[in-house]
């Protein structure tokens, strides 16, 4: 009888371990890239938390680069993908302060993201698992932001001299991305046209051609026109967050920032 009890106990322990293993088996892979994933839940010190209401914390994986909005700040970094295995490199983030509850959620979300070891993606959801196979983050599929949503008003741009500068008061440089690859806008002095190519988060903009021939009496405005059109040609990647469009140079630094016209 004692031997039977030992056998029964061992069977019970094995069953428990098997069930535990099923819950921490890690991801099964799937189509991860070029989809905007909106946070649903995240792990915070072992507790599964719901995403904060009223905002959309998200992630976009494309071409080895991951970027997103983490509740208060935007973040970006690199990732490596091999089958169902997913590793995320050190993430860089903006340094904006916000409400303490959102800052706490942001910190926990980024910490969970950095622990990723594998994933499972399907048509409507994405789950990330840590190195031990525990689910740490769950997303739902979100709407992918579009360049072609309307007119973008320039806020700031790279002036070619290692500085990001704001737009001169009274000028209104713009950009309009048209489906099919055409691009138009105002340089603040003249109209211009160009073409662009976008795939995932990558973008390239051809040298713009002026469609009008106006001249400004202010040398600073003329300089802004030349610098803005040059900055557009430096764009290698882009991110859209709500009504903001950021164009980045190949090294990850800013080329130009816009806001969507209302």
Domain end marker among 124, 141, 158:
141
Q: Is 202 left (phi over 0), alpha (psi -120 to 50) or beta?
A: beta
At 25 the pLDDT is: 72
At 242 the pLDDT is: 64
- Give the residue among 84, 98, 94, 91 at the shortest CA–CA distance from 115: 91
Question: Can you read off the two tokens belonging to residue 6?
Answer: 């030992």
User: How many of the other CB atoms lie within 10 Å of CB of 254?
Assistant: 16
Which 3 state secondary structure label does DSSP give 183? strand
Domain end marker among 106, 124, 141:
141
Domain end marker among 125, 141, 157:
141
Question: Can you read off the two tokens belonging to residue 59?
Answer: 């992630």
Question: Can you read off the two tokens belonging to residue 184?
Answer: 């138009």
Element (H, E) at 155: strand 151-158
- Give the residue among 36, 35, 31, 67 at the shortest CA–CA distance from 237: 67
Same domain, 91 and 168: no
Find the domain containing 180 and state its range: 147-260
Same domain, 151 and 253: yes
Same domain, 95 and 156: no
Same domain, 127 and 194: no
* Spatial contact of 238 and 248, defined as CB atoms under 8 Å apart: yes
Beta bridge partners of 80: 87
Same domain, 193 and 166: yes
pLDDT above 50 for 56? yes
pLDDT above 70 for 4? no
CATH at 177: 2.40.128.270
Distance CA 42, CA 128 (A): 9
- Give the residue among 237, 199, 203 at the shortest CA–CA distance from 76: 237
Same domain, 103 and 177: no
pLDDT above 70 for 16? no
pLDDT tens-place string over residues 70-108: 888 888 899 999 999 999 999 988 777 888 999 999 999
At 68 the pLDDT is: 85
At 9 the pLDDT is: 42
- End-to-end alpha carbon distance in the chain: 80
Distance CA 196, CA 188 (A): 20
* Spatial contact of 192 and 186, defined as CB atoms under 8 Å apart: yes
* Number of structural domains the chain divides into: 2
Kindly report the average pLDDT of the chain as a whole number: 88
pLDDT tens-place string over residues 137-175: 999 998 767 899 899 999 999 999 988 899 999 999 999
């Amino acid at each position: 009888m004692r031997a039977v009890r030992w056998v029964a106990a061992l069977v019970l322990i094995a069953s428990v371990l098997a069930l535990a293993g099923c819950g921490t088996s890690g991801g099964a892979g799937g189509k991860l890239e070029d989809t905007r994933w909106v946070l649903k839940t995240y792990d915070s010190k072992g507790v599964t938390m719901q995403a904060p209401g009223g905002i959309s914390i998200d992630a976009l994986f494309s071409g080895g680069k991951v970027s997103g909005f983490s509740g208060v700040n935007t973040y970006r970094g690199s990732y490596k993908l091999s089958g169902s295995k997913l590793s995320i490199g050190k993430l860089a983030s903006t340094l904006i302060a916000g409400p303490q509850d959102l800052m706490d959620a942001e910190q926990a979300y980024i910490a969970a993201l950095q622990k990723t070891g594998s994933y499972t993606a399907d048509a409507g959801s994405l789950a990330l698992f840590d190195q031990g196979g525990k689910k740490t983050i769950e997303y739902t599929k979100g709407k992918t932001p579009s360049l072609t949503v309307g007119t973008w008003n320039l806020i700031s741009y790279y002036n070619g001299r290692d500085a990001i500068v704001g737009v001169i008061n009274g000028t209104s440089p713009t950009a309009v991305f048209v489906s099919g690859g055409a691009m138009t806008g105002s340089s603040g002095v003249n109209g211009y046209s160009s073409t662009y190519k976008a795939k995932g988060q990558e973008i390239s903009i051809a040298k713009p051609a002026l469609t009008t021939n106006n001249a400004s009496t202010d040398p600073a405005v003329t300089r802004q026109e030349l610098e803005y059109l040059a900055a557009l040609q430096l764009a290698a990647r882009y991110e859209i967050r709500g009504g903001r469009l950021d164009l980045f140079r190949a090294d990850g630094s800013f080329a130009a920032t816009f806001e969507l016209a209302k």
